[in-house]
Amino acid sequence: MANRDMTGDGPASLWASAGDRAREREMKREAVLTTAVRLFNLKGFVTTSLDDVALALGVTKPTIYHYFPNKDEILYECVRRGLDSIRRTAAEAAKIRGDGAVRLRKMLLSYALVMTRDFGICVGRTNDAELSPENRARYRAAKREIDQMLRGALQAGIDDGSLRPQDARLAVFAVAGALNAIGRWYDPKGAMSAEAVAKGMVDALMRGLDAIRKED
């Protein structure tokens, strides 16, 4: 990495091989994570052992420790990804032009979609008491941030008249509660697509906030 172009070998082969290794490592790490999150969602974090995860991957437990320092970090990385997706899409939605109702609707739609996928489901099912104190603090901070964004959009909607005046705190808790639970009943192999579920859910929730009805 430090001494590329120093040999006559040419940078391409050096980089290719170094890159291959790094990429392969990243893919394996990814495989650990996706296998872990699926098991966590299926059986719960505490009741899933790393031996279970290793077995599902066809490797042994110490292998997992080559990619993650401990079990807690694996869970944290799972919820971090879910929360980051929500946060990122919500931040984007906050920037689009339109009234508060329009921005909030977009936020909720992205939120709902994330909750139909593995890392999102994990967010919905994870109890913060399962995380280490440090990661719990980060987890809570991320949740708070999302809550603030939703509340901000809702309040903006109330202020600009696109949403009914109401207790923003209560309303956001209700909405988030409904969305977080999606992973507890949604079946990807069922009749409804993730998009249909998300849209149906968000339409109902936005009606509850008295949004001006806009079919898009």
Q: Provide the binding-site residues for DNA, judged by CB under 7 A.
A: 7, 9, 14, 17-18, 21, 24-25, 28, 47-51, 54, 58-63, 65-66, 70-72
Selected range binding a copy of itself among 12-20, 79-87, 152-160, 179-187, rule: CB under 8 A: 179-187
Q: To the nearest whole angstrom, how small is the minimum distance from the Cβ of residue 75 to DNA?
A: 10
Token pair for residue 34? 């996706």
Q: SS3 of 37, please? A: helix
Among the candidate windows 16-24, 43-51, 84-92, 133-141, which touches a copy of itself by CB under 8 A? 43-51
207 binds a copy of itself (CB under 8 A): yes
Among candidates 171, 176, 179, 174, which has minimal Cα distance to 121?
A: 179
Kindly report the backbone phi and psi dihedral angles of residue 127, in degrees, each rounded to the nearest multiple of 5, phi listed first. -95, 125
Distance (Å) of CA 88 to CA 128, 187, 210: 21, 25, 26
Q: How far apart are CA 78 and CA 82, in angstroms?
A: 7
Instruction: Give the C-alpha separation, 189 to 186, whole Å.
Output: 9
For the CB of residue 49, give the shortest distance to DNA in the complex, in Å: 4
Q: Which is nearer to a copy of itself, 8 or 187 (CB)?
A: 187
Q: Which residues bind a copy of itself (CB under 8 A)?
A: 42-44, 46-47, 125, 127, 129-130, 164, 166-167, 170-171, 173-182, 184-185, 197, 200-201, 204-205, 207-210
